[in-house]
Amino acid sequence: MSDPAPPVIVRFTPVHGLVAACHPGPTLAVTALVTALVAGSGRPVADCAGVALAVLAGQLSVGWCNDAVDAARDTATGQRGKPVALGLISPAAVGIAAAVALVLCVPLSLLSGVPAAAVHVSAVAVAWAYNLGVKATVLSWAPYTVAFGLVPVFVAAGLPGTPQPAWWAVGAAALLGFGAHLANVLPDIDADLATGVRGLPQRLGARRVRVLAPVPLLLAAGLLVIGPPGTPGIAGWAALAAASLLTAASWVFGARHPRAPFLTAIAVAAVGVTLLLVQGV
């Protein structure tokens, strides 16, 4: 009988810790979304690459700032998905990385011109404000709403003549941001309350947030269907119907399956993002 295979030992390096601490899922998703919107607006490939680098730097700074600021709270609540709480990287290292990414975000944003850079840096600053304290106030929803709402403004500001973005695109993006905040916080409401974080979702409570989370996302989808000039096509109505069914499913199954509202909110958000990509800004 052969000897059992030796256990596989995974050695984590500071690079692994930095990658995990940047919130890679949301970071890549936002970077891809904004870059796709810019590509859809007709800007050259080089411009799209510059936008991708600027948005990536901004999102990295926001993610690392979040983990650096929340290090003590994440450790106290046993957040197993946070590398700082697990000791894989120090809060100081993550904080330095956040500062470096923030500095790089400025010249990279300027590749799209001064107006677009001002909008993008403002959106990143708003996200930092959330991390640095607004998240624990009744205005916790505002940074998400403002930052997402500025995305179409940023895309339009980088075009020749800096045209105004469509009102319905700005409104829908802001609603997506509000819904994203509710969905993002929902799984952690109990842990947040235990450590004194009392943003709007925490004050409302998990039961109310489960009901509310998909609503702004559904409204965003509706705005993207009926807002653009002309009669909505079959695809638009089908997308809105899908978002409505997902919202109804969230309400029906939310009480018995705690993860259902979060998962359906993500699905409704995906419908809204798809519509935003199709409609443009």
Residue that terminates a domain, selected from 118, 135, 152: 135
Range of lowest pLDDT (5-9, 136-140, 154-158, 203-207) = 5-9
Whether residue 80 has pLDDT greater than 80: no
Same domain, 186 and 280: yes
Does residue 100 fall inside a structural domain?
Answer: yes
Does 216 share its domain with 126? no
Cα–Cα dist 25/28, whole Å: 6
H helices present in 41-188, as ranges: 45-69, 71-76, 91-110, 114-131, 141-157, 167-185
In a domain, 150, yes or no: no
Most confident of 6-20, 105-119, 215-229, 264-278: 105-119
* Cβ-contact 41, 155 below 8 angstroms: yes
Q: Is residue 263 part of a domain?
A: yes
Band the pLDDT of 196: cuts 50, 70, 90.
confident
**Domain end residue (candidates: 119, 135, 151):** 135
Total domains in the chain come to: 2
Q: Which amino acid is at 174?
A: A
Return phi, psi of residue 228, to 5°. Answer: -60, 150
Mean pLDDT of 177-191: 88
- Per the model's pLDDT, the better-predicted residue between 1 and 26 turns out to be 26
Q: In this structure, are residues 164 and 178 in contact, taking their beta carbons and an 8 Å threshold?
A: no
Query: 244 or 73: which carries more pLDDT confidence?
Result: 244
At residue 104 the predicted structure's pLDDT band, cuts being 50, 70 and 90, is very high
Q: Classify residue 278 as exposed, middle or buried by CB count within 10 Å of its CB (0-12, 13-18, 19+).
A: middle
Residue 258 pLDDT: 67
* Averaged pLDDT for residues 99-125: 97
The answer to the question of residue 92 being in a domain is yes
For residues 24 and 94, membership in a common domain is answered with yes
Q: Which region among 3-7, 33-37, 214-218 has the lowest average model confidence (pLDDT)?
A: 3-7
The pLDDT assigned to 262 comes to: 74
Q: What pLDDT, on a 0 to 100 scale, did the predictor assign at position 280?
A: 66
Share of the chain above pLDDT 70, in %: 93
pLDDT tens-place string over residues 149-165:
999 999 999 998 888 99
Residue 211 has pLDDT above 90, yes or no: no
Does 237 fall in a domain? yes
89 lies in the same domain as 171: no
Identify whether residues 196 and 246 lie together within a single domain.
yes
pLDDT of 25: 87
Average pLDDT over residues 22-49: 91
At residue 14 the predicted structure's pLDDT band, cuts being 50, 70 and 90, is confident
State yes or no: pLDDT of 7 exceeds 50: no
Same domain membership, residue 130 and residue 202: no
Q: Is 57 exposed, middle or buried (0-12, 13-18, 19+ CB in 10 A)?
A: buried
Sign of the torsion formed by the C-alpha atoms of 173, 185, 137 and 98: negative
**Do 176 and 111 share a structural domain?**
no
Same domain, yes or no, for 42 and 128? Answer: yes
CB atoms within 10 A of CB 28: 13
Are residues 47 and 113 part of one domain?
Answer: yes
Q: Picking from 45-59, 72-86, 126-140, 184-198, which range would have the lowest pLDDT averaged per residue? A: 72-86
Residue 147 inside a domain? The answer is: no
Stretch 101-111: mean pLDDT, rounded?
97
Q: What range defines the domain where residue 69 resides?
A: 10-135
136 touches 197 (CB < 8 A): yes
Q: Is 142 part of a structural domain of the chain? A: no
Average pLDDT over residues 213-234: 88
Domain boundary among 135, 152, 179: 135
For residue 128, is it within any domain?
Answer: yes
Share the mean pLDDT of the chain.
87
Statement to judge: residues 131 and 244 lie in one domain: no
User: What is the structure's pLDDT at 56?
Assistant: 97
Within 8 A by CB and 6+ apart from 274, the residues are 239
Phi-psi region of 47 (alpha: psi -120 to 50; beta: other; left: phi over 0): alpha
Q: Are residues 235 and 122 in the same domain?
A: no
Single pTM value for the model: 0.86
